[in-house]
């Protein structure tokens, strides 16, 4: 399979780890290819929100229905440009920031009202 993009993960300590990128794989799978352990507690089912990363540069596929639903239920817990790595797939070269603190498992926190 010929690489289509380059994906760079910026770690909390500033180290940058790069890998070949493929449109068919989500960012979580790219991290796993290079043995970068992104937190995830639901097995990539878009249920827990722990696999969030921040897109610094580049373009990913738009959020899917289940990602939108999780974001809507927990609006205040998502920061600007944060995506679920289990749902975001690259559409270009990307730079992605790995969050310094693992987000809470959203299955364990109350949903926001209103």
Instruction: Quote the pLDDT of residue 36.
Output: 96
Tokens of 52: 């969030």
Q: Where are the domains of the chain?
A: 5-103
To which H or E segment does residue 56 belong? strand 52-57
Instruction: Quote the pLDDT of residue 30.
Output: 98
Q: Give the pTM.
A: 0.93
CB 5 within 8 A of CB 21: yes
Residue showing tokens 């998502």? 78
- Per DSSP, what are the bridge partners of residue 60? 90
CATH superfamily, domain at 5-103: Beta-grasp domain (3.10.20.30)
Walking along the chain (114 residues) 10 residues at a time, the average pLDDT comes out as 96 97 98 95 93 97 94 92 97 97 88 72
């Amino acid at each position: 399979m010929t690489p289509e993009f380059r994906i760079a993960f910026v770690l909390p300590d500033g180290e940058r780890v790069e890998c070949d990128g493929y449109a068919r794989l989500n960012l979580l799978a790219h991290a796993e290819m290079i043995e970068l352990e992104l937190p995830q507690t639901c097995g990539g089912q878009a249920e827990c929100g722990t696999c969030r990363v921040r897109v610094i540069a580049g373009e990913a596929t738009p959020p899917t229905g289940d990602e939108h639903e999780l974001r809507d239920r927990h609006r205040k817990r998502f920061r600007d440009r944060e995506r679920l790595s289990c749902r975001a797939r690259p559409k270009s070269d990307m730079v992605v920031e790995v969050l310094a603190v693992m987000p809470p498992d959203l299955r364990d926190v109350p949903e926001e009202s209103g």
